[in-house]
Amino acid sequence: AKQQGRGTYRFFEPLMDAQARARRDMEADLRTAIAEQQFEVHFQPLFNLARKEISAFEALVRWQHPVRGLIPPIEFIPLAEETGLIIPIGEWVLREACRQAITWPEDIRVAVNVSPVQFRNTGLNAIVLQALTHAGLAPDRLELEITESLFIENVEATLASLHALRAIGVRVALDDFGTGYSSLSYLRAFPFDKIKIDRSFIVDLLKEDGSTAIIRSITALADALGMETTAEGVEEVEQVDILREQGCSSIQGYLLSKPVRDDEVAGFIRQLQSR
């Protein structure tokens, strides 16, 4: 058995080397990307069902790699988080998002995803404030989207940071709601402005397997706590009807639009507002 174990190890050794090398290469590429500003922010609209107008755009980062082309966030955010590179990347996204939002109508907000790693770095609040000031954007036009993994460690410091941001008017949304293990306790711990209902619940809406009842419960809970709700990943008209009936405040998804480049946002606003 011992010999077999060693054999297995030898067999995997080159594979592990290759993986480690790929990781090192990607980390080096990420550093170059930051220095050479190879990132792009795309924007996806959130549509308010009662007012029938766009309420916000969510900023979603992409990496325009010189060789590999456009790389989606799922392929580089985890490594950026492990290496801490998410801090400069996240700062750039925040500044870029605020810089774009100031060119939009005043009643349209910008939503920015913030990684728990950015929160662990004590400078986050100053970075947010600086991005707002630099762009001349009112704090209540910025909404930070956080996931509940944020609360796993350092709860006290995280809550203090969130309260300070909220005190200056920045809005805070709980992203991917319903995917964690104890979402409800976080609603008690912090007064979010909004709950974003995870796409997995929206996908199942048309199956009528209890998803409608879950959506109704979430919107009732949000109402009672004075929070708005956004349904993520809406792709079908039929889903919109159910979501409206169940009291959801706003929707987001490919039905309305995929994330678009910054220069496409203005035309998009005109088109949707004139409906």
Interface residues with ligand C2E (CB under 6 A) are: 44, 59-61, 72-74, 77, 90, 93, 113, 115, 145, 175-176, 233-235, 253-254, 259
Biggest alpha carbon–alpha carbon distance for the chain: 73
Contact partner, 235, from ligand C2E, Ca ion, none, Cβ < 5-8 Å per class: ligand C2E
- Report the nearest approach of ligand C2E to the CB of residue 90 (Å): 6
Closest CB to ligand C2E among residues 153, 224: 153
Q: Please identify, using beta-carbon distances, which residue of 90 and 178 lies nearer to ligand C2E.
A: 90
- Minimal distance, residue 53 CB to ligand C2E, in Å: 19
Of 113 and 250, which CB lies nearer to Ca ion in the complex structure?
Answer: 113
Partner residues linked to 150 by β-bridges:
none
SS3 content of the chain, % helix, strand, coil (to 5): 55, 20, 25
Q: Please compute Rg for the chain using Cα positions.
A: 21
Pairwise CA distance, residues 127 & 143, whole Å = 14
- Total number of residues shown for the chain: 275
Half-sphere exposure at residue 91, Cβ-oriented, CA atoms within 13 angstroms: 15
Residue nearest to Ca ion (CB): 145
- CB contact burial 188-203 (16+ within 10 A = b; e otherwise): eebebbbbbbbbebbb
Contact partner, 162, from ligand C2E, Ca ion, none, Cβ < 5-8 Å per class: none
Residue 90 contact, options ligand C2E, Ca ion, none, Cβ 5-8 Å cut-off depending on partner type: ligand C2E
Residue nearest to ligand C2E (CB): 253
Closer by beta carbon to ligand C2E, 46 or else 222: 46
Residues facing residue 172 across a β-bridge: 144
The 125-164 site mask, x for binding Ca ion (CB under 5 A), equals: --------------------x-------------------
What residue 174 binds from ligand C2E, Ca ion, none (CB within 5 to 8 A, per partner kind)? none
- Rounded to the nearest whole angstrom, what is the least distance from the CB of residue 220 to ligand C2E in the complex? 23
Antiparallel, parallel or unpaired: β 109-113 and 260-261: unpaired
Considering only 96, 143, 175, 228, the residue that binds Ca ion (CB under 5 A) is: 175
Binding partner of 253, given ligand C2E, Ca ion, none, CB within 5-8 angstroms per partner class: ligand C2E
β-partners of residue 46 are 56
The interface partner of residue 72, options being Ca ion, ligand C2E, none and the CB cut-off 5 to 8 Å by kind, is ligand C2E
Query: How far is Cα of residue 66 from the mean position of the Cα atoms in its chain?
Result: 25
Binding mask 228-247 for Ca ion (x = CB under 5 A): ----x---------------
The one-letter amino acid at 15: L
Beta carbons within 8 Å of 28's beta carbon, 6+ residues apart: none
Q: Report the site for Ca ion in 35-94 (rule: CB under 5 A).
A: none
Q: Determine which helix (DSSP H) or strand (DSSP E) holds 57, and give its type and residue range.
A: strand 53-65
158 φ, ψ to 5°?
-60, -45
The residues of the shown chain that bind Ca ion, judged by CB under 5 A, are 113, 145, 175-176, 232
